[in-house]
Amino acid sequence: MGLISGLLLLPLAPARGVVWVAERLQETAERELYDPGVIRAQLSELNRELDEELIDLETFEAEEERLLDRLHAAQKRSRANNGR
């Protein structure tokens, strides 16, 4: 970036900074959302809650299905990213 274009684009610097931070937050959230280790830990916690009767079977099954769907999606993403 040259001096003139740098000076002309200077007023946009805060907006570019906000966009950069938002992109990093999105990447981090997606990484955590699709991390198989995190999902397995959540499944384990869900099983513990059922064993300790903190949740009923219906709630368990609904949450388990949601987590297994996320795990399946994470595995598909992983295969797609490795296939690039």
Angle at 31 between CA 27 and CA 35, to 5 degrees: 175
Nearest C-alpha neighbor of 43 from the set 60, 56, 31 = 60
Alpha-carbon distance of 42 to 76, in angstroms, equals: 19
The answer to whether the CB of 66 falls within 8 A of the CB of 31 is no
Per-residue pLDDT of the chain (84 residues; tens, 9 = 90+): 577 777 677 777 788 788 888 999 999 998 888 899 999 999 999 999 999 999 999 999 999 999 999 999 999 988 888 765
The pTM of the full predicted model, rounded to 2 decimals, is 0.65
